[in-house]
Chains A and B, each alone.
Chain A
């Protein structure tokens, strides 16, 4: 990446009648290994680098990007961004909040540098996982295994005087298995992710998890009972707590969505000015506090400064059941007369930075998991989920259990097949009467933006206990 050209583009843009300009360069080494049924299907590796210019002029925003590193091209894209900003012709002029200028470099350390791990070793690791899963005593007719590595270098400059450079290595893995028993199939996937080095791969204990999943799916086919529809207590494992926190707290608390900027694609929010829900409104029980925190070291969604040069920090979204703080970038914060809380992310140099989550999770309580369960006379324990979705105002959601059991007199007993909770955000979080004290995280890829920008995140939480919810 040529920082001199990025500085040049900034300087050239500043020679025009602009209100704000930033130039963000990104160089990325990407590596993808794909196995099918334990055999290497394909290996893709690439290096890409480019930069974008975002200009605010006459209350409009223009954005242009390129992967050509020349002064001529830099001038051209600055010209395009400037032209587009001016042509917005908005009645309500846009602005960005002013933020503190910083000059620094931040990086994520690796105990075992990914760059130093030979490709053979990585392929062998995936092959070994597949062998172990294939020999676990469950018939598995199809597997897909993927490992991704991204070494991301960024250089960000803006007209406020910020100069931020960073280096983040990210490692991810994805596995999909199909189990077949008695002529029936069940499927499951697992995703793993970390900001850091190759040491993460062993810590994930991938084989153990996949073997466990395979046995769970076999049980779903051969042993699991169906659920009798009706109101009952529900204990959600951390994976279910995490997806619920992400979908029905994180997303509706994105300020750009609240303001309507995503209305045509990712949608709006049940939270809006003049509506029944706003900052200070109750949405859950006292037991519910959900945060979004990019500063968790080594997390998949980790960053120290966002893609608008704003320092990252923990955001309390729902605090003791009350709507508390939206996720903000410079644009949304200016519209709502507040400050950015460092929630602006972009997946690459050719994408606009927009309001995103990082690591969204329910904060822990005081009970052990056993204490949470022992107070349930009859209920369902949904440890993990398969199919899920939520409407575009983030109010009506559905989670279908993958690994789930009956709870009888405080004891986890027989497996149940595909229990479904389909309920509203308010009912879900208001029904929580207790949460356990141990938080676990799962890696996920959060989708938003047009063109779509899948960003790495953690979802997570402790176990949640919901009272009297409808399960079918």
Chain B
């Protein structure tokens, strides 16, 4: 066992000695590298190194947390934390950290991502690909982000675990004209599978099609969602299946367990698999992560839990623990039976949306919200893209939309983009009926 793992365990031992009932310490040594670019040129390259231990401890059912940086002032920090616990009050949610010794699958963090040197080469590969589609006047911007983390976890309740987590992602937005843009992303947990050219090509293709957009019409449409925008919509549902969202009424899924919440062709999973951007072999309580089916052929099967919320809901943890509340790691929608082209042929008159941002709710429990599609918005007639549109807003209901899914493509893509499509997802093209679109007046 290495020095960092030992020091992490020492924090747990020390906290117990000082009087804590249960303790978890998770040390992350993270190396993050980012290239930001715009106007086809690199604006800034950023490196940040982070050395941090997250500590959560319980004392007489009081739950407190802190961060210790680089193992400095451990005893002082723990004493302070216990002092806070003693002036705190019992948490109604806390039911204990996960207990037991577990076997973990092998960590598959890609060391090549940690060692990656020529970051800007990948950026220029994407820009050149967009240029091929749009021509030399393309104006593109975006980010390349690499992450490599070594994670050590120790818990007073049994689990000790070590993981390496890696990811590389590129996001590029290409403009063919001032109001004609496309957005592409390329996300991978390994360098081997990372193909930035694909993102540039996709961004360029959409931008090219989006030239000379006209203001679209309000109305109710059949809509094809590109995997990127569907990743944003999926992230809404993912946040709402956290047991914490249920307990705080910030979800459309309250009292819906075992009930039909989506059309039959919808199966959603949470799966931080090795190929996911959120790859991890254990959660923040040290429980081995696994695939969880959230919605199975339209029926809500589970909320996402840590050990405490699982006990409240009289079930088992789904290994989605954060230090305070459970959350989805990486969402997958099962593929459908049609390919992308066949999905388009289902549309007599509708829209193809490629990206969105600024999603806001008026009521999370009811699910009423709006979001603003950006980049290519297209009118589709008889399966063909007929016109480029702009300035439309999707104003609908998150629960109704789940029920209105009528087609899912075989093709799926790993998508993640800024805070808009987060957590990462493996998303298909999706056809949805009766989508409400509005515009400025």
**Chain A residues closer than 8 Å to B141, beta-carbon distance:** 260-264
Nearest-neighbor residue (CB-CB) of A121 within chain B: B87
Assess the B248–A423 pair: CB atoms within 8 A: no
Partner of A44, one of B66, B368, B441: B66
Partner of B41, one of A45, A84, A91, A178: A91
User: Interface stretch among A64-72, A104-112, A162-170, A356-364?
Assistant: A64-72
Assess the B441–A389 pair: CB atoms within 8 A: no
Q: Give, as a whole number of angstroms, the nearest-CB distance from A91 to chain B.
A: 6
Nearest-neighbor residue (CB-CB) of A65 within chain B: B48
Nearest-neighbor residue (CB-CB) of A46 within chain B: B67
Determine if A120 is an interface residue (Cβ-Cβ < 8 Å).
yes
A interface residues, tally (CB under 8 Å)? 85
Assess the A450–B393 pair: CB atoms within 8 A: no
Nearest-neighbor residue (CB-CB) of A143 within chain B: B248
**Chain A residues closer than 8 Å to B89, beta-carbon distance:** 39-40, 123
Assess the B120–A42 pair: CB atoms within 8 A: no
**Chain A residues closer than 8 Å to B419, beta-carbon distance:** 447, 452
A389–B324 alpha-carbon span in the complex (Å): 29
Given contacts A66-B48, A68-B51, A422-B438, A450 and B42 within 8 Å (CB-CB): no
A261–B45 alpha-carbon span in the complex (Å): 13
Partner of B63, one of A42, A89, A400, A450: A42
Determine if A207 is an interface residue (Cβ-Cβ < 8 Å).
no
Given contacts A119-B88, A176-B248, A396-B372, A64 and B63 within 8 Å (CB-CB): no
A118–B91 alpha-carbon span in the complex (Å): 19
Partner of B371, one of A261, A275, A389, A447: A389
Assess the B87–A123 pair: CB atoms within 8 A: yes
Given contacts A90-B41, A263-B175, A396-B393, A80 and B47 within 8 Å (CB-CB): yes
Q: Tell me the B352-393 residues at the A interface (CB within 8 Å).
A: 357-366, 368-372, 374, 391, 393
Interface pairs A-B: 5 shortest CB-CB: A84-B45, A387-B362, A263-B141, A389-B358, A470-B441
Task: Point out residues on B near A: beta carbons under 8 Å.
Answer: 34, 36, 38-39, 41-52, 62-70, 77, 80-81, 84-85, 87-93, 120, 139-143, 171-173, 175, 178-179, 183, 247-250, 324, 357-366, 368-372, 374, 391, 393, 395, 418-419, 438-441
Q: List 7 A-B contacts (CB under 8 A).
A: A37-B92, A43-B85, A44-B324, A46-B66, A263-B173, A264-B183, A400-B362
Task: Point out residues on A near B: beta carbons under 8 Å.
Answer: 34, 36-37, 39-50, 52, 60-68, 73, 77, 80-81, 84-85, 87-92, 94, 118-120, 123, 141-142, 144, 176, 178, 185-187, 259-265, 267, 272, 275, 350, 352, 386-393, 395-398, 400, 418, 422-424, 427, 447, 450-452, 470
- Please name 15 further chain A to chain B contacts, defined as beta carbons within 8 Å, in addition to the given A64-B48, A396-B391, A450-B143, sorted by A numbering: A41-B63, A41-B324, A45-B64, A47-B69, A52-B48, A85-B45, A142-B249, A178-B249, A185-B249, A185-B365, A350-B50, A387-B369, A389-B372, A418-B362, A422-B439
